[in-house]
Structure 1
Amino acid sequence: MMQEDIVILDGGMSRELERLGAPFRQPEWSALALIETPEIVERVHAEFIDAGAEVITTNNYAVVPFHIGEERFAAEGGRLIELSGRLARSAADRKTGTRVAGSIPPVFGSYLPQDFDPAHAPALLGKIVSGLARHVDLWLIETTSSIEEMKAAAKATSAAPKPLWVSYTLEDGHADSQIPTLRSGEPVRAAVEAAVASGAEAVLFNCSAPEVMEAAVKVAVAAVPEGVRIGVYANAFAKPADEIPANDGVDEIRHDLDPAAYAAWARRWKALGATLIGGCCGIGCGHIAALRRTLKPADQSS
């Protein structure tokens, strides 16, 4: 694989927002910074770009009723989603070639495939797509726990066609398993095939432990047709994500995933065929800089 095929993604927003002084608490999570300190949101995007990210993701992940409540979402959701797109675009436009991924999050909460509501999903997803469409270069359906959830999100993006990336979150309670599954229990191969059938140009895995990513990448590489990219952006949670109560405080981060350790995992994903690599919760600007140095060393002079 040629080095230039690798694309560096950004990392997790929330703790970087906190580091720079933005308000950070549950249940609003990263949405609180959009509400109270939007200038810090743009600054975090800029710092990820400076660290080496070539694709940054809009900060609207928590702009859903699950995090900000039904009333606030109805009254302010559209404005906040549009603001997240505008801030990311402004930061990206400072460096030629930087792309903005429009986040399509799980609208009924992370890691909760059983709570997906197909009757109410289209309206929520449609609001996200319409708010972001004019600011983003591609759609990133992320932290997707089930095929049904992915399909609904993919359908919503058809209202504003752009390149589509789909990122699934994996069951990570058994890191030694060689048969990777989504948090719904569905096999990764079926999920990858469903994403490709829905028009995905890339299939990624995110917000799961680094230890479970290799098996998923192997399955994905074998399942996708030529031209479909594979990607990884793992989290740094100390406990499996599905053991962490939703909207219940700030979660502990592992101490064994410093930038060098995370870059070592990334080298393994690259060797297996992943070409889109970044980080999720707990993976900050220092980690992204290490990815850039490790995976694209020839770019350091650019």
Structure 2
Amino acid sequence: MTAANPLTDLLAEKGVLLADGATGTNLFAMGLEAGEAPELWNESHPERIDKLHRDFVDAGADIILTNSFGGTRHRLKLHQAQDRVFALNKRAAEIARAVADRALRKVIVAGSVGPTGELLQPLGAMSYEDAVAAFVEQLEGLKAGGVDVAWIETMSSPEEIRAAAEAASKVGLPFTFTGSFDTAGKTMMGLDPKDIHGVAGDIGGGPAAVGANCGVGASDILSSLLDMTAADPAAITIVKGNCGIPEFRGAEIYYSGTPPLMADYARLARDAGAKIIGGCCGTSCEHLAAMRQALDDYTPGPRPTLGTIVERIGPLRNKTAIESGGESTRERRRRRT
């Protein structure tokens, strides 16, 4: 049984929650340069981070994620900021906390924790203990800044999920975690969507919610959602999909999803059993507002089939996990946008 915390309390009250949209995509629109660390904006441009959170709340988000996805020392070292882990994460949490506290309704502040970008032993050099220590360092800053929950996301490695979950438990935060099923229906490290529930159920009080984020496109993540909710219909499941399909147009990445498409994605996610629904890469406040309206006007429909999803959202870009037997040992090194 998941212990009571602000996230599960609000879920019990509302039944379904809307998480926010993209961080990176929207910060790029505000002037973030390619290769620049978004986390540094917590100090250099806090007003822009504040505005992004406010815009998501105004669009209807029940959950806002801190601007701290790359907030471990391993990520920040790429920007000579590895000695500022606590300060940058604390500031990220403070900005989001202030926005949530000003809202006219309850808004959950989720501390975004992304992968370190390092491979754990035996595939790489980082020990499990070092991974836990790095996540503890990040989460101590997020907790000091006032987050309600550790939001472990875009993960590929079950061991790294466990390390982050253990860190959350050590610092006394409830946690959720999501995998990115972008390699033939599995994560890059071979985790199958149906197996997500068992990754860290024995750590602390267990996860408040588990699920999928990022990945390929909206149809693919809904396919993963069907596998996850079939495997454990009683679990609180998160889906935070990309806004349609990412396509390169010259040097720019363009996302094909329209607000009506993302509204339909939200309805299908609800019918497929998701309890926390949001958007990842490419999802703007306009998309999120359409998703809010779709969930508010929700009329229950039958559990969708893969055929229904493809018909309404578009073709899959990946094999499903069931079709795929292969596993990959490459770890995700790019950041969520």
The two structures have a TM-score, normalised by structure 2, of 0.75
- For residues 201-242 of structure 1, the C-alpha deviation after alignment (integer angstroms, 9 at most, x for no partner) is 21121011212122221222133373x3111111237559xx
User: Which of 174, 186, 191 is 2:191 aligned to?
Assistant: 186
Task: Tell me the SS of whatever aligns to 2:191.
Answer: coil
User: Which of 188, 200, 212 is 2:220 aligned to?
Assistant: 212
The 1:275/1:90 distance shift into structure 2, 3 A limit, reads same
User: Which runs of structure 2 are paired with 1:226-265 in the superposition (5 Å)?
Assistant: 226=234, 228-236=235-243, 238-239=245-246, 252-255=253-256, 257-265=257-265
- Give the superposition deviation at 1:13: 1.4
- Give the superposition deviation at 1:290: 0.6
Deviates more, 1:78-87 or 1:117-126: 117-126
Partner in structure 2 of residue 126 of structure 1: 136
The two structures have a TM-score, normalised by structure 1, of 0.83
User: Which of 212, 226, 232 is 1:224 aligned to?
Assistant: 232
| Distance in 2 separating the partners of 1:280 and 1:152 | 23
Structure 2: gaps spanning 5 or more residues: 1-11, 299-337
Q: Which amino acid aligns with 2:93?
A: G
Asked whether the 8 Å contact 1:237–1:251 carries over to 2, the reply is no
Task: Tell me the SS of whatever aligns to 1:80.
Answer: helix
Asked whether the 8 Å contact 1:114–1:184 carries over to 2, the reply is no
Partner in structure 1 of residue 106 of structure 2: 97
The 1:51/1:187 distance shift into structure 2, 3 A limit, reads same
User: Which of 80, 84, 91 is 1:72 aligned to?
Assistant: 80
Q: Which amino acid aligns with 1:156?
A: A
User: Which of 171, 175, 192 is 1:160 aligned to?
Assistant: 171
4+ residue runs over 4 A deviation: 113-116, 237-240
Is the counterpart of residue 146 in structure 1 residue 163 in structure 2?
A: no
The 1:282/1:66 distance shift into structure 2, 3 A limit, reads farther
Number of residues of Structure 1 aligned to a counterpart in Structure 2 = 278
- Give the superposition deviation at 1:60: 0.7
- Give the superposition deviation at 1:251: 5.1
- Give the superposition deviation at 1:77: 2.1
Asked whether the 8 Å contact 2:75–2:117 carries over to 1, the reply is no
Asked whether the 8 Å contact 1:193–1:224 carries over to 2, the reply is no
| Distance in 2 separating the partners of 1:66 and 1:86 | 22
Asked whether the 8 Å contact 1:170–1:205 carries over to 2, the reply is yes
Q: Which amino acid aligns with 1:82?
A: K
Asked whether the 8 Å contact 1:63–1:73 carries over to 2, the reply is no
- For residues 240-275 of structure 1, the C-alpha deviation after alignment (integer angstroms, 9 at most, x for no partner) is 9xxx9xxxx9750223x0111111122111111011
- For residues 147-202 of structure 1, the C-alpha deviation after alignment (integer angstroms, 9 at most, x for no partner) is 11100000000122233211111125x5xxxxx32221122222322243431121
Partner in structure 1 of residue 208 of structure 2: 201
The 1:133/1:250 distance shift into structure 2, 3 A limit, reads farther
| Distance in 1 separating the partners of 2:276 and 2:292 | 12
User: Which of 3, 6, 9 is 2:19 aligned to?
Assistant: 9
Is the counterpart of residue 44 in structure 1 residue 49 in structure 2?
A: no
Asked whether the 8 Å contact 1:205–1:234 carries over to 2, the reply is yes
Task: Tell me the SS of whatever aligns to 2:71.
Answer: coil
RMSD over aligned Cα, in angstroms? Answer: 2.8
Asked whether the 8 Å contact 1:42–1:91 carries over to 2, the reply is yes
Q: Which amino acid aligns with 2:240?
A: Y
| Distance in 2 separating the partners of 1:66 and 1:262 | 34
Q: Which amino acid aligns with 1:183?
A: M
Asked whether the 8 Å contact 1:28–1:62 carries over to 2, the reply is no
User: Which runs of structure 2 are paired with 1:264-275 in the superposition (5 Å)?
Assistant: 264-275=264-275
- Give the superposition deviation at 1:295: 0.7
The 1:73/1:116 distance shift into structure 2, 3 A limit, reads farther
The percentage of aligned residue pairs carrying the same residue is 28
Q: Which amino acid aligns with 2:227?
A: V
Task: Tell me the SS of whatever aligns to 1:101.
Answer: strand
The 1:66/1:163 distance shift into structure 2, 3 A limit, reads closer
Asked whether the 8 Å contact 1:108–1:116 carries over to 2, the reply is no
Q: Which amino acid aligns with 2:199?
A: A
Task: Tell me the SS of whatever aligns to 1:158.
Answer: helix
Asked whether the 8 Å contact 1:45–1:91 carries over to 2, the reply is yes
